[in-house]
Amino acid sequence: MNVLLAVAIGVVVAVGVYLFLSRDLARMLLGFMLFSTATNLLLLLVGRIGPITPALIEEPATTLAESAANSLPQALILTAIVIGFGMTAFTLILALVAYRRFQTLDADALNVAESIDPPVLSNDEKGTRS
Amino acid sequence: MDTRLIIVAPLLLPLLTAALCALLWQRPRLQRWISVASAFLLLATSVVLLRQTSSGKILASQMGHWPAPFGISIVIDTFSAIMLAITGVMAIAVTVYSLGPGRARRDHAGFHPMLHALLLGVCGSFMTGDIFNLYVWFEVMIIASFGLLVLDRTAQQIDGGIRYVMLNLIGTTFFLIAVGLLYGLTGTLNLADLARMTPHVEQRGLLATAGVLLLVSFGAKAAVFPVFNWLPASYHTASMPVAAIFAALLTKVGVYAILRVYTLLFAHDTSFFGPLFAFLAISTMVVGVLGAAAHYDIRKILSFHIISQIGYMLVGVALMTPLAIAGSILYIVHHIIVKANLFLVAGAIHTRSGSYWLARLGGLWRTAPLLGILFLIPALSLAGMPPLSGFWGKFAVIRASLEVNAYWLAGAALVVSLLTLFSMIKIWNEAFWKAQPVEPAPRPTTRVQQAATYAPIVVLAAITLTIGLHTEPFARISLAAAHQLLDRDGYIAAVLHSGNDQAGHSPDSSAVARLIEEDPTQ
């Protein structure tokens, strides 16, 4: 089970990284989502997975049973999912705004912030730029 | 006052202020007052904390009375308190500066709530004693910084924002993977508990993997070579108060995390991380300063200098001697003040002449000599001219390198200072000395707005001079913080045994503490 999950995580990471290397912002976002999903799965895996009972304390006992599942990774994953959701939502909106503004999602075509400022003014620039 | 209340005050203040400012979205005037008042309170509480920790005491508090390592620990040692105090200074400088020109537009877009959310994330990162919690504070900080960066929604900001957002998202995901690996190896997330476990972990390879992943993530936050690209691609697009607070705090949170985590968790492994950090320090210094030399936009020059200066701060972790770490801490303090001040001066230049582009600037020494002096103080300090603050930071760092025969490191630091001076002189020559090339297009400002612009610049310049001329107390507290950082056992004891003090509140805490004592490997 652990090996299977490890391989699955590896595959998801590979797909995520492949998509993230794309120039298209939408594909990059999908890549990021897969990458963060794989991370969440990794958190589940490091809590050890095996044939165990739910992390509930039965009435007479005061502590968890020896065989109970580790509930901490689940809490971590829950936090990570919420954070990942917020980040993804923000990035989607940003990509949408960028698309409306520039009519493209191609990262190579998005270069307004990359203008190079030459050391001296050319004659026709004297009145126009700031 | 209850110590536990004062310990969480640097979290509660920005949180409440952010919430209050968000509720008062339609009342920008009220927001401004609350924002400035909260910044002053933040400085006041952090100064109290600094006084309490300056004797070498580590303040630790367990949230919800869950004893460490099960609860979330808030730990404030001297280093944290220094960082909190400097955050308070920056909060005041930027909130006051934000009352200057352009405030209506910023306030309308929600500058104050997001600024305080950012401060919340920054303070949280400085105070937490739990590595997963550190991840959460990082995320709080960067989501707020995303909003602040694209505040004006100009085309440039959206474009720069995309680069910033994408690279930071990946960086923090690496952090989460590293947290997962560390948890899998040790079964704990508490930094003190991790520090106790890491020397005994058997799978050294996996531990080193986690260390390198953390390095990628913190490095991306701190703009360390080779993962610095997001910084010069985005910082110059932000509006000036935002750029100033980013320049002051965001990268330094990354440096703080590096110093904290590598002194605590990986200090026993210096044979691998030491040379790696030395290499990264030199490359970061050199690449940053060369980038700055190539550009002719003040904001881009300053952005590249942030990167270059990060290199100096890494010398501490590269050498791991008390003097080197003290040098790094002194350097961080100096750099935060000086760099934020330079961005504020750049904003004032823009208000006066309508441009950041050096080719369009000129003649400012004639029209605004005061601004010239206020530029020269932080600029020369950045380059490391005595007797300003930068000189002492560089002096400590270089002396620490020479003490352990790291001549390469010392040489690179010296050459990079020279190149820093070159690009500061470039700004000086172009913006202040040369004749005015085009008619400036100043933004109309009121007297109050001018006062709001200049007051923080003057105060920060005065702090730079104070650190430069009266270095003794700053050097001493940096050295104390450095010794404390290297004393892992002291940190572990302070955090893991702080639960016992509050045994009355939580009946199980002493039993749990005993459990931890008995079973060090869990």
Q: Is residue A55 part of a domain?
A: no
Tens of pLDDT, residues B483-509: 999 888 888 888 887 654 443 333 344
- Nearest Cα to B175, choosing from B133, B234, B205? B133
Q: A with B: how many residue pairs have Cβ under 8 Å apart?
A: 116
Q: What's the angle, vertex CA B504, arms to CA B501 and CA B509, rounded to 5?
A: 70
- Range from A28-32, A114-118, B436-440 carrying the lowest mean pLDDT: A114-118
Q: State whether A127 and B161 contact (CB < 8 Å).
A: no
| The model's pTM | 0.91
SS3 label, residue B357: strand
For chain B, give the number of residues.
Answer: 522
Q: Which two tokens stand for residue A65?
A: 């049973």
Q: For residue A76, what is the domain's CATH number?
A: 1.10.287.3510
Sorted by where each begins, the domain ranges of chain B are 3-516
Residues of chain B found within 8 Å of residue A122, distances taken between Cβ atoms: none
- Rounded Cα–Cα distance for residues A41 and A70 (Å): 14
Q: Which member of A43, A87, A117 has the closest CB to residue B180?
A: A43
Q: Is residue A128 part of a domain?
A: no
Q: State whether B159 and A111 contact (CB < 8 Å).
A: yes
Give me the residues of A, 37-56, that contact B with CB < 8 A: 39, 42-43, 45-48
Give me the residues of B, 294-323, that contact A with CB < 8 A: 295-297, 300
For chain B, the straight-line distance linking the first and the last C-alpha, in angstroms and rounded, comes to: 38
Q: Is residue A93 part of a domain?
A: yes
Closest Cα of chain A to B298: distance in Å? 10
Q: What are phi and psi of A89, to 5 degrees?
A: -60, -45
Helices and strands (H and E) in chain A: how many? 3, 0
Residues of chain A found within 8 Å of residue B304, distances taken between Cβ atoms: none
From the CA atom positions of chain A, what is the Rg in Å?
24
Q: State whether B156 and A113 contact (CB < 8 Å).
A: yes
- Rounded Cα–Cα distance for residues B315 and B412 (Å): 11
Q: Is residue A39 part of a domain?
A: yes
A85 — contact with chain B (CB < 8 Å)? Answer: no
* Overall number of domains in chain A: 1
Tens of pLDDT, residues A64-105: 777 777 788 888 999 999 999 999 999 999 999 999 988 888
Q: Which member of B157, B169, B183 has the closest CB to residue A91?
A: B169
B101 in Cβ contact with B2 (< 8 Å):
no
- List B62's β-bridge partners, or say none: B73
Structure confidence at residue B495 (pLDDT) = 86
Q: Is residue A27 part of a domain?
A: yes
- Rounded Cα–Cα distance for residues B38 and B351 (Å): 27
Q: Is residue A122 part of a domain?
A: no
Q: Is residue A44 part of a domain?
A: yes
How far are the Cα atoms of B104, B249, B336, B338, B340 from residue B332, in angstroms, in the given order? 32, 10, 6, 10, 12
Residues of chain A found within 8 Å of residue B177, distances taken between Cβ atoms: 39, 42
Residue A95 is part of which domain span? 2-50+70-109
**pLDDT tens by residue, chain B, 522 residues:** 567 778 888 999 999 999 999 999 888 889 999 999 999 999 999 999 998 888 888 888 887 777 777 788 889 999 999 999 999 999 999 999 998 888 888 888 889 999 999 999 999 999 998 999 999 999 999 999 999 999 888 888 888 899 899 889 999 999 999 999 999 898 888 898 898 888 888 888 889 999 999 999 999 999 998 889 889 888 888 889 999 999 999 999 999 999 999 998 887 777 888 889 999 999 999 999 999 988 888 899 999 999 999 999 999 899 889 999 999 999 999 999 999 999 999 999 988 888 888 888 888 888 888 999 999 999 999 998 888 888 999 999 999 999 998 899 999 999 999 999 999 999 999 888 888 887 777 777 888 888 888 999 999 999 999 999 998 999 999 999 999 998 888 888 888 876 544 433 333 444 444 444 444 443
Q: Which member of B136, B295, B441 has the closest CB to residue A117?
A: B295
Q: Is residue A124 part of a domain?
A: no
When scoring A85, A87, A100, A115 by the number of chain B Cβ atoms within 10 A, the one with the most, hence best to mutate, is A87
- Which residue is closest to B350 within chain A, CA to CA? A130
